[in-house]
Structure 1
Amino acid sequence: MRHPPRSVLAAVAGAVALIGSVTVPVVTASGAAPACSVEYSVTSQWGSGFQGAVKITNNTAAMSSWSLAFDFAGGQKLTQGWNATWSQSGTTVTAANESYNGSLATGASVSAGFIASWSGSNAVPTSFRLNGTSCNTAVEPSPTPEPTDPAEDGPPVLRASGNKLVDAGGATRRLLGVNRSGGEFMCVQGRGIFDGPVDDASVKAIAGWKANTVRIPLNEECWLGLSTIDPVYAGANYINAVKDLVAKVKAHGMTPVVELHWTYGQYTGNSAGCSDVHASCQKPMPDMQYTPSFWASVANTFKNDRTVVFDLFNEPYPDRATSTTTQAWQCWRDGGNCPGIGYEVAGMQDLVDSVRGTGATNLILAGGIAYSNDLSQWLTYKPADPAGNLAAAWHVYNFNTCANESCWNSTLAPVAAQVPLVAGEIGENTCAHGFIDQVMKWFDDRGLSYLGWTWNTWDCSSGPSLISSYDGTPTAFGTGLRDHLRALNG
């Protein structure tokens, strides 16, 4: 849903003067080890340029792909590199694996080199991120979690079993609740991390509606701490805020769904939400430059808590850029150089692989094309999931194309017959609830899941929004969802 406004090496060899290697030390603590280690070296330097190298060591679970990011602090500009795909955006440099060196076993290392220009200062970068995880920083071993008492009133660990979501005991479960928007746009706009309070009282108010699920939209640039985002709202500060909200949602017995909403990549084609390359609006597809790193980091953060659900990408719309529906679905699954999209796309298969590459087995949701409103070929292009824990996500508003029972019967019912189906967003821009009443009945009759958009105090005719106050006071639109959830779960 949209939101309220707001090789040249030989040529330079003769000019190179070899200097002492400058290496960033690895900082460790007694009994602790960094998740990854990076040695950065300036191996040669001349009047306006220098040659550098990085050696990356993976100290965690084996990974099938890697992406290293760091920030130049002295105005340096990357010109070329080798043994990795190098790029620079602002001060942030990214080195992603080549096809031949993507596998990085536990304890294994890989090296890559580059040439860059400099003037005035050639300061050494001080922080490095491998697949979104900070390197060279000691991490104390996490304590072994206490076993969860199945009798405790907490959210279940969910898995896909046939076309149902089931808990550890095999009982069928439904995700019924709301979206909590804010984490996708406030940070990139420099206005905070969440829109409105996310304290215990506000989360308790959601539970008071008898919701059992809260979907939390996120921004990849804020999570990864890219240099374009105010550091107050990015990186560790952003991640910790998300983890805190997830913990509050769980404390009230609700399932947290973390979802990637806004991403990097410039798109100015049909139905573009903005012309900005940065993650300041909904893009037609995720980007290969940052999104796999985002999901690897998110998965590493929550892989030991399988009550957390992963929603890969909010509302894909490659169909607005491509010439044919087949091209759109191929782009959706396989990514790459998609027609009409100017950046390299990360397909749903890439994102599933990024999550599973961390060892995470959490439930994954994948929305279809046409802003997740079209699932007509979802089964044909379904990504392969080695964990077998994948569900289809669908969004619907009264102004969408597939907004009537005839369409639902013809395109949704076949999907729901084979895999779990979750309506990640339902809503209408009428400030009433007649449309979502129809949606909820159709989903109730089939035992399916749905989440209302959105638990924010916006104008319900343009948002739409469920509440007029964070104490849970509903709008006329929100009254329909609140009363329905209470009737189901009261």
Structure 2
Amino acid sequence: MRHPPRLSVLFTGAALVMASGAFAVTGTASGAAAAPLCTVEYSVAGQWAGGFQGAVTVTNNGSALNGWSLGFAFPAGQGVTQGWGAKWSQTGAAVTAGNESWNADLGTGAKVTAGFIASWSGANTAPTIFTLDGTPCATGPGPDPTPTTPPSPTVPTPTPTGPADPPGPVTGAPELTVTGNRLTDQRGATRRLLGVNRSGGEFMCVQGHGIFDGPVDDASVRAIADWKANTVRIPLNEECWLGLDNIRPEYRGSNYVDAVKGLVGRVLARGMTPVVELHWTYGQYTGNSSGCADVHASCQKPMPDARYSPAFWTSVANAFKSDRRIVFDLFNEPYPDRATPTTGQAWTCWRDGGTCPGIGYEVAGMQDLVDSVRATGARNLVLVPGIAYSNDLSQWLTQSPTDPTGNLAAAWHVYNFNTCSSEACWDSSLAPVAARVPLVAGEIGENTCGHAFIDRVMAWFDARALSYLGWTWNTWNCSSGPALITSYDGTPTGFGTGLRDHLRAQN
């Protein structure tokens, strides 16, 4: 988000994950020639006494479908108690997973994944017979699960309150891991990031006014927690973190780093997840939609720079890699699409960096930044934004960087004035991404001083168990930019009232 002027965001199945991973059953239709062919991959992310979490991925190898229904039977009395990615029902042993409105289209070669929580007792044998729209798929042998403890041996196994109890979440900020299209904690419990942004660290230091805008003491952090937020996103400035000499000494280098570490520690102490994010960067850009002509990190640039941004993430990852409760958000709002002649070139620039058309400095691509983080040994969750100020994820799945840890989530921003600001756009462009990877709306907001628009955003995200963070926990005039509060004691604006009341209802 740009700032107002100042002083000058599965189905995991019924068997335990085996060392060899998921098994597949490949079907050849036994009926009419026009019947669809399918491939089914069945896997389990976690199992505990009386319950388990699993996933099924279906590939349509036949004709394109508009609406689909997956059927299978549990062989040992297992029972689905909740699910996502499909409309679930069960009668006796027979389980049906039907499409949602946003994943009804299943083209030839397309995949869809759905997840569930289920109960088991005695044995948890995997199903071996699957059908797609009633057409059987030939089945191969699947592994029988062997009960084990939850993923982290240092965390006690939760005691279920009934035969279908999912794992209980850990207390406080979790260590987040990508499991299919969900974020899970050390116990395998599904988690959502719901909270606010705390702006200031990106602009105060480079403008020579301080490090943060307003107090960041424990009282102010407690006020955020009192809204029942569980996440605080903290925008940063790479020149201030790296201590470059264009920044005043008292606001750069170790002074800045220590201040950020202090805020991160206070957020953690209040049981919330800190998201540290690269917001303003080096590199001169004066083209379409330029925020400033300055070569220094004094505004939002279209892409991170190769000169300092990888060094920033190397330093940040080294600072926080010992604590996996801290999330890394690679870059605020890329907009190479405003500089390059074509959208295809924009996505290539976004991923690979280098010399990008229309951008006069050498760019660091998202792959460069992921590589910088992982080279330190950090396994923290990493958020990767799209293009068009993070409002376009249309090629995120095909262009996303590779990650040896598999711990990447998609980041998206939306305001009432963005291009993709309607449910129709979200259904067509966001839902396919959310069906494959965790999706975090790192910034949501509106410039109306009200909350009618974010109410719609939150309703859409709630229906899919996705994450969102309001912009911003600062006492600005909400008519000049989305501001949640009028005081750092948590007194909300009209806009903030909508987010506060919703967070309290969710948590």
Same fold by TM-score greater than 0.5? yes
1:231 shift after superposition: 1.1
3-state SS of paired residue (1:369): coil
CA root-mean-square deviation: 1.1
Find the partner of 2:265 among 226, 247, 255: 247
Deviation at residue 154 of structure 1 after TM alignment: 2.0
Which residue identity lines up with residue 394 of structure 2 in the other structure? S
Q: Deviations over 1:289-317 (max 9, x none)?
A: 00000000000000000000000000000
Aligned 1:328-343 pairs, distance under 5 A: 328-343=346-361
SS at match of 1:183: coil
After TM superposition, list the pairs within 5 Å mapping 1:49-448 onto structure 2: 153-448=171-466
Cα displacement (A) at 1:5: 1.2
Distance 1:456 1:463 in 2: 10
Q: Deviations over 1:35-62 (max 9, x none)?
A: xxxxxxxxxxxxxxxxxxxxxxxxxxxx
Query: What is the CA-CA distance between 1:152 and the residue it aligns to?
Result: 7.2
Identify if the C-alpha distance between structure 1 residues 268 and 164 changes in structure 2 by more than 3 Å, giving closer, same or farther: same
Secondary structure, in 3 states, of the residue corresponding to 1:393? strand
- What's the counterpart of residue 105 of structure 1? none
State the distance in 2 between where 1:149 and 1:284 align: 46
Whether the 8 Å contact between 2:379 and 2:405 is mirrored in structure 1 is yes
Q: Identity of paired residues, percent?
A: 79
Equivalent residue for 1:479? 497
1-side partners of 2:397 and 2:415: how far apart?
22
Cα-to-partner distance string for 1:333-356 (whole Å, 9 max, x where unaligned): 000000000000000000000000
What amino acid does structure 1 have at the position aligned with 2:268?
K
Provide the residue aligned with 1:115 in structure 2.
none
Look up the match of 1:66: none
Cα offset, 1:461, TM superposition? 1.3
Partners of 1:241 and 1:339 in 2: how far apart?
37
CA distance in 2, matches of 1:252, 1:448: 22
Q: 1:149 to 1:240 in 2, by over 3 A?
A: farther
Q: What is the DSSP-based 3-state SS (H/G/I as helix, E as strand, rest coil) of the residue aligned with 2:203?
A: coil
Residue 480 of structure 2: aligned partner: 462
What is the CA-CA distance between 1:4 and the residue it aligns to? 1.5
Whichever residue aligns with residue 272 of structure 2, its letter is M
CA distance in 1, matches of 2:371, 2:254: 24
Partner AA of 1:447 in structure 2: A
AA aligned opposite 1:3: H
Q: Match of 2:4? A: 4
Are the counterparts in 1 of residues 414 and 444 from structure 2 also a CA contact under 8 Å?
Answer: yes
CA distance in 1, matches of 2:447, 2:156: 42
Mapped partners of 1:268, 1:477: distance in 2: 33
Aligned-pair distance for 1:161? 0.6
Query: 1:212: Cα distance to partner?
Result: 0.1
* 3-state SS of paired residue (1:285): coil
Separation in 1, partners of 2:480, 2:197: 16
**Once the two structures are superposed, what CA deviation does each residue of 1:136-162 show, in whole Å capped at 9, x if it has no partner?**
xxxxxxxxxxx7889973200001110
Instruction: Rate the CA distance shift 1:148–1:201 in 2: closer, same or farther, 3 A.
Output: farther
Residue by residue over 1:428-463, the C-alpha shift from the partner in whole angstroms, topping out at 9 and shown as x without a partner, is 000000000000000000000000000000011112
Q: Which amino acid aligns with 2:4?
A: P
1:43 paired residue number: none
CA contact (8 A) 2:170 2:186 kept: no
Q: Which AA in structure 1 matches 2:400?
A: K
Where 2:440 maps in the other structure, the secondary structure is: strand
Instruction: Say if 2:234 and 2:274, in contact at 8 Å, map to a contact too.
Output: yes
Q: Is the 8 A contact 2:284 2:295 kept in 1?
A: yes
Distance 1:148 1:294, change over 3 A: farther
Consecutive unaligned residues in structure 2, runs of 5 or more: 7-153, 158-168
Aligned residues between the structures:
349
- Please report how far the alpha carbon of residue 285 of structure 1 lies from its aligned counterpart in structure 2 after TM superposition: 0.1
Structure 1 portions without partners, runs of 5+: 7-146
The Cα shift of 1:405 comes to 0.4
Q: C-alpha distance in 2, partners of 1:324/1:163?
A: 30
C-alpha contact 2:184 2:190 (8 A) present in aligned 1 = yes
2: distance between equivalents of 1:442 and 1:393? 16
**Amino acid across the alignment from 1:334:** D
Letter in 2 for 1:300: N
- Mapped partners of 1:328, 1:451: distance in 2: 26
Structure 1 ranges of 4+ moved more than 6 A: 147-152
**Residues 107-146 of structure 1 deviation map (CA, whole Å, 9 limit, x = unaligned):** xxxxxxxxxxxxxxxxxxxxxxxxxxxxxxxxxxxxxxxx
Provide the secondary structure at the position in 2 that maps to 1:331: helix
Q: Residues of 1 paired with 2:416 and 2:377: CA distance?
A: 39
Q: Does the aligned pair in 1 maintain the 2:170–2:185 contact within 8 Å?
A: no
Distance in 1 of aligned mates of 2:469 and 2:397: 22
Name the counterpart of 2:133: none
Instruction: Find the residue that maps to 2:503 and give its secondary structure.
Output: helix
